[in-house]
Amino acid sequence: MAKFIRRYESTIYGKYRIAYLKYGVLIGLAISLYVLICGTIGHPIQTPDNYGTEAVMLWGIFLSTYLYRNSLPEKLVSLKELMLLGIGMGVVASVVYGLILWMYTSVLFPDWVNIFIESRISVMPDASESEEAKIAVDAVRNYSA
């Protein structure tokens, strides 16, 4: 299996691992900045993942793969390599965003977890409808990250 994966690793077209880290960290910071800007203008996000954060990641990956391709000497890279580059950047960006979100909710703004909890409860069935719904709402209310 290692030979199969290694067969497609290319050193001709650039250094992918550095691009994963560099662009992934930048995309993760851009997503975090988007979340902070939304909070400061009075529209805090209600869930850690939403269409806005996904759009920032998507455009960040597109822009980063474009910049990476243009930084190569002959601008020669296959679609498969760009897709692997996008996946790697997405994983690194998600980890960076998760760490910043964890720091933000545990240190700077611990009430944000309560916003997530209330948002989750607002889409759940009413607790007065059934015993199962009451147990589910109580489980969400008593959850601590």
Sign of CA dihedral 82, 87, 93, 97: positive
DSSP of 35-94, one letter per residue? HHHHHHTT---SSSS-HHHHHHHHHHHHHHHHHHHHHSSS----HHHHHHHHHHHHHHHH
Contacts of 10 (CB under 8 A, 6+ apart): 16, 81
Contacts of 35 (CB under 8 A, 6+ apart): 45, 53, 101, 104
pLDDT of 115 over the 60 cut? yes
57 exposure class (CB count in 10 Å sphere: 0-12, 13-18, 19+): buried
Contacts of 140 (CB under 8 A, 6+ apart): 117, 120, 121, 124
pLDDT for res 102: 84
If we measure between CA atoms, which residue out of 104, 125, 116 comes closest to residue 143?
116
* Degrees, nearest 5: CA angle 120-53-121: 5
The string of pLDDT tens digits covering residues 36-80 is 888 777 676 666 677 888 999 999 999 999 998 888 877 878 788
* Degrees, nearest 5: CA angle 51-47-121: 130
pLDDT band at 2 (very low <50, low <70, confident <90, very high): low
> Both tokens of residue 12?
């001709």
Mean pLDDT, range 20-42, rounded to an integer: 88
pLDDT of 144 over the 90 cut? no
pLDDT of 35 over the 80 cut? yes
pLDDT for res 75: 80
Report the chain's C-alpha Rg in angstroms. Answer: 20
